[in-house]
Structure 1
Amino acid sequence: MVLALLISGLLAGVIGKYQLLPHCGTHAEKLIIVAACDGASSTGQIGNEVARRLTKAYPDGVRMCCLSAIGAGSKTHLGIFKKAKAVIAINGCQLMCTSNVLRQRGIEPAYEIVVAKEGINKMPSLDFNDEDVTRIADKIVKDFLSNFSLNTVEGER
Structure 2
Amino acid sequence: MEVKLKKANLPLVYSCSGCSSAAQTANMVAIKMDREKIAEMSCIAGVGGDVKPLVKTAKSGRDIIAIDGCPLACTKSCLARHDVTPTYHIDLSDYDVPKLKGKDPDPENVDNVYNTVLELCATQ
The alignment's TM-score, normalised by the length of structure 1, stands at 0.71
Say whether 1:128 aligns with 2:105.
Answer: yes
Q: Which has the higher contact order (CA 8 A, sep 6+)?
A: 2
Alignment partner, residue 14 of structure 1: none
Partner of 2:33: 54
- Give the drift of 1:125: 2.1
Q: 1:20-73 deviations in whole A, cap 9, x for unaligned?
A: xx7xxxx54x1210110001100000000000011111x2x5111001110111
Q: Please list, as runs of the form range in 1=range in 2, the aligned pairs for 1:91-110 lying within 5 A after superposition.
A: 91-110=68-87
Residues 78-93 of structure 1 correspond to what in structure 2 (within 5 A)? 78-93=55-70
Task: Confirm or deny: 8 A CA contact 1:44 1:92 kept in the other structure.
Answer: yes
Work out whether 1:39 is the aligned partner of 2:30. Answer: no
Q: CA RMSD in A?
A: 1.7
Distance 1:85 1:65 in 2: 12
> SS state of the match for residue 113, structure 1?
strand
Q: Distance in 2 between matches of 1:75 and 1:126?
A: 33
Residue in structure 2 matched with residue 142 of structure 1 by the alignment: 119
The answer (yes or no) to whether the contact 1:90–1:113 under 8 Å persists in 2 is yes
For residues 147 and 83 of structure 1, do their structure 2 counterparts lie closer, same or farther at Cα, with a shift above 3 Å needed?
farther
Paired with 2:61 and 2:115, the residues of 1 have a C-alpha distance of: 22
**8 Å Cα contact 1:31-1:84 kept in structure 2:** no
Sequence identity of aligned pairs in percent? 27
Unaligned runs of 5+ in 2: 1-5
What is the Cα deviation at residue 84 of structure 1? Answer: 4.4
What is the count of residue pairs matched by the alignment?
A: 119
Q: Structure 1 stretches of 5 or more lacking a match?
A: 1-21, 149-157
Per-residue deviation at 1:116?
1.9
